[in-house]
Amino acid sequence: MAKKPVIYLYPEETTDVEVKLDYEGELICTYPVYQNGWNVTAEPDGTLTDADGKTYSYLFWEGISNVEYDFSKGYVVKGSDTAEFLETKLAELGLNAKEANEFIVYWLPSMQNNPYNLITFQTDKYTDSAKLHITPEPDSILRVFMAYKVLEKPIEIEEPTITPFERTGFTVVEWGGSEVE
């Protein structure tokens, strides 16, 4: 299950934006309601307004699919160290303080009391199964999707290389995750 992917839109000036999600699975919840896409007016500060004048901080969706996430590289983190780990890694990945805070507040309760967590940040496995089509086309897109497994004891695993993200022009940021059994 893809839990709480949220999409932030940061245009350089007030812009009407259409976002379509091509998801290889079933959408089970969206907010605002996904009607063959989302159509919003986006402000540079990330505020989104729909045609009815309602405002949102981001576009939200959850879905169920049969994607098998890649656990060939990752991080083994003691449950009690998860908050500190996420603060550091999310900043390295490119989330700003507000986005990282919202990510941590959502995920930490299900992770902090585990003995260990095997944490991965998915790339192609996620983006290929949940394609975004955005008009106008953004200048930079950051999609952070964490998949993790609970571990009873630590294991050895190769850590991935993180490529720094640079926000330029109209920027789109998405984060979400999944706990894998």
List the 55-56 sheet strands across, edge first: 55-56, 48-49, 38-42, 15-23, 130-135
Name the residue ranges covered by the structural domains of the chain: 3-179
What is the secondary structure of 4-48 as a DSSP string?
EEEEEEE-SS-EEEEEEEEESSEEEEEES--SSSEEEEE-TTS-E
Look over the chain and give the mean of its residue pLDDT values, rounded to a whole number. 97
Write out 90-103 in H/E/C secondary structure: HHHHCCCHHHHHHH
The helix (H) or strand (E) run that includes residue 160 is none
pTM assigned to the model: 0.95
> What pLDDT is stored for residue 181 in this prediction?
87
* Rounded average pLDDT over 134-148: 98
Tokens 């995750």 correspond to: 177
Question: Does the pLDDT of residue 174 top 90, yes or no?
Answer: yes
Beta-carbon neighbour count of residue 130 at 10 Å? 23
Tokens 């003995």 correspond to: 115
**Percent over 90 (pLDDT), the chain:** 96
Which of the four pLDDT bands, split at 50, 70 and 90, describes residue 1?
confident
Q: Quick one: tokens of 91?
A: 């900043």
> What pLDDT is stored for residue 43 in this prediction?
98
Q: CA-CA distances (angstroms) from residue 151 to 64, 114, 169, 181?
A: 23, 7, 40, 10
Cα(63)–Cα(23) distance, rounded to whole angstroms?
8
Tokens 């303080």 correspond to: 97
pLDDT in tens, 62-92: 999 999 999 999 999 999 999 999 999 999 9
Which of the four pLDDT bands, split at 50, 70 and 90, describes residue 2?
confident
